[in-house]
Amino acid sequence: MEEKRLFLLLTLAHVVVTGNDTRRNVLFMIADDLRTTLGCYGDSVVLSPNIDQLASHSHVFLNAFAQQAVCAPSRTSLLTSRRPDTTRLYDFKSYWRTHAGNYSTLPQYFKESGYYTKSIGKVFHPGVASNHSDDFPYSWSVPAYHPASFSFEKKKMCRGADGQLHSNLLCAVDVSQQPMATLPDIESTDEALTFIKSRRSRHQPFFLALGFHKPHIPFRIPQEFLSLYPLEHMSLAPDPDVPERLPLVAYNPWTDVRLREDVQKLNVSFPFGPIPKHFQLRIRQHYLSSVSFLDAQVGRLLSALELMGLDQNTTVVFTSDHGWSLGEHGEWAKYSNFDVATRVPLMFYVPGVTAKTIRGKRFQFIDVFGPERTFNNGQESQSLVELLDVFPTLAHLSGLKVPEPCPESSFQVALCSEGTNRAHDFIHQEEKINKEQIAFSQYPRPSDTPQEDSDLPDLKDIRVMGYSLRSWDYRFCLWLGFDPRTFQLNVSDVHAGELYVLDSDPGEDHNIYDPSVDTGAIGTLTLPLDLSLRERLRLLYLRLIKTLRKT
């Protein structure tokens, strides 16, 4: 074990030596709405052989969490390594550089360190949230590439039983009959393949960020992928009902799903009316099919990387911006603090570190329609980590100086990190799990009860902020009063609370939070005022657990 540890330490340290041509390239892949429904995360139904193959040569974090379960806030948080309270982005309608602070980003840091940086697909959330430029020229060496076929994604592209085109949730298509005879993720992967071929003989290292659009809705995917998941083999979520003691403020009424034409025809009552079971099965079928379609694109890129020999000097990161509910708790989509919405896949492939040798084939393309393949597990970590940790960890693995931890108030600090460098986990794999670790997520609401904009309220309408602390044993959440004009919380204004014992209730179906124990016996205002909000909530959580264990 000591020899292995020494080898890894030396390898991690020896990334930058004499020149640019010795530095590893970086391939950063991020999916959209992908929960941990992957074979390498223990799902026995989904077919994800290419991502599983990557995992078998990677360091896989089994408990990674997004900071907010919606696209723009999560991506901005990940790419700046700042929490949503620091980017002050909770919706899609502000650009952090002008709204909060001129923060450096992950690709910007690599660009300023001599890398050629390229964005393909959905990396930053396009639009106002990235200044209508995907943060070019700060983050990228050239303007970001977006697949032209994505312009059709929100149009009526799904042929219904009536033969007409609709804006449906379920949208399996004949790709040859689609505009341009392609789909966004196919087009983005094609562009990524062209890019890496063009960089093969270049000495300047590259940082390529590839953002897949799937499995985000609509489920516009090649129709043949549905054959992988016969409807008669599909099953409902194990907990398809809204929990009895779930605070109304915590509920996600999945408004964007309801807006799809095929869902509207179901006449589902707002906000709790369940989707008919037969349609639930079809949603789950289409989601899994979208994951397999995504997996095929990952396989195309990784196999090309290997064929060109670039797998020997390229660090690969694969993750997602957040998860997606598939009927758990009577919910669909993201927009909540439940594990199914906040927990994400996260893996790092580092040649010479997670893959001990640079010889032999690793990333042969695996046809998802072919025979079943089994792979050995890679390095796995049970540690609780956050997407904030990607920036400092990848900097370390690339031989760059790790950004300093941010001070309590970092609005004027351009470069720092609110995450943690997790490269230590790559070395000390045999150590016991640190049960004091906590991952934080949060979600805003406009009111205490579900309404049309509960999923994604505008900043001006936010009145309640739910802060979720995910420990090894529990998930604890307080919903606190929020002032959108000052971005201030009223810690004494507790609207609701949640507490789940994960050992006996892994699905988070039984809320045992007792408000009398929290606001009465503990008293939120008695906590030291010089501590950060997260530290105050952590201490409050520890006191609450201690009190509950005594009763």
Residues with a known catalytic role: 71, 125
CA distance linking residue 356 with residue 377, whole number of Å: 14
Q: How many helices (H) and strands (E) in the chain? A: 15, 17
In terms of C-beta density within 10 A (0-12 exposed, 13-18 middle, 19 or more buried), how is residue 432 classed? exposed
What's CA 214's distance to the chain center, in Å? 12
Q: Where are the alpha helices (DSSP H) in 14-118?
A: 49-55, 71-80, 84-87, 96-99, 106-112
Distances from the Cα of 118 to the Cαs of 45, 191, 311, in angstroms? Answer: 35, 11, 18
In terms of C-beta density within 10 A (0-12 exposed, 13-18 middle, 19 or more buried), how is residue 81 classed? buried
Residue 211 three-state SS? strand
CA distance linking residue 262 with residue 443, whole number of Å: 28
Beta-carbon contacts of 355 under 8 Å, excluding residues fewer than 6 positions away, are 57, 349, 362
Strands (DSSP E) found in 57-141: 59-65, 116-121
Terminal alpha carbon distance of the chain: 44
Q: Are strands 379-386 and 59-65 parallel, antiparallel or unpaired?
A: parallel
CB burial readout 373-388, b (16+ within 10 A) else e: eeeeebbbbebbbbbb
